[in-house]
Amino acid sequence: MADIIDIKVNGKQHRVEAEQGMPLLYLLRNKLELNGPKYGCGIGQCGSCMVLLNGKATPSCAVPGSAVAAYEITTLDGLVKDGKLDIVQEAFVDEQAAQCGYCMNGMIISAKALLADNPKPSDAEIRQALNGVLCRCGTHTRIINAVKKAAAQMNGNPNARKS
């Protein structure tokens, strides 16, 4: 049996028909063609499918699409404004944080949630915030540097990009 689901994603309202219990991840990728969130484990353990639900980084594979009608959902795709990368996305590019890139969605979404709450995180706070995302390639040092660079830029450090 199908559900009709109303959800707001990246500022736009959508009405979609989906099988009962369909995870938000499938709804975003298969119904709305938003491919920022990635399928990794499907059981809420790897973080590759992270989205922001009212600003909180949440694994979208572990949430039924029908449960998030009241939420503002933001995906990696929604961070790009007028064709321009978000400051966190740019910092990840500048630091060449990706190897295979599969974890980048989760890392960037988790970093966005962290920096919105805590614009000057310590290294320990960054590690804690990214703890729900697994990087199989082991680019952790560059990922942490990218979050620090984004934080520095958000705090008005003009030299942050040159480090």
By CB under 6 A, name the binding residues for ligand FES.
Answer: 39-42, 44-49, 59, 61, 98-103, 135-137, 139
Instruction: Tell me the closest approach of the beta carbon of residue 44 to ligand FES, in angstroms.
Output: 5
C-beta separation of 47 from 58 below 8 A:
no
φ, ψ (nearest 5 deg) of residue 140: -60, -40
Please, what is the minimum distance in Å from the beta carbon of residue 159 to ligand FES? 26
For the sheet with 72-74, list strands across it. Answer: 12-19, 2-9, 72-74, 50-53, 56-59
Q: Which is nearer to ligand FES, 59 or 121 (CB)?
A: 59
- Select 46 or 108, whichever has its Cβ closest to ligand FES: 46
Enclosing H/E stretch for 71: none
Which residue number, 5 or 28, has a Cβ lying nearer to ligand FES?
28
**CA distance from start to end of the chain:** 54
Minimum CB distance to ligand FES smaller for 100 or for 155: 100
Residue 131: CB minimum distance to ligand FES, A: 13
Q: How far is the CB of 49 from ligand FES (least distance, A)?
A: 3
Q: Is the dihedral of CA 40, 41, 43, 47 positive or negative?
A: negative
Nearer to ligand FES, 41 or 154 (CB): 41
Beta carbon of residue 136, minimum distance to ligand FES (angstroms, whole number): 4
Q: Is the dihedral of CA 115, 49, 75, 36 positive or negative?
A: positive
Q: What's the alpha-carbon Rg for the chain, to the nearest Å? A: 16
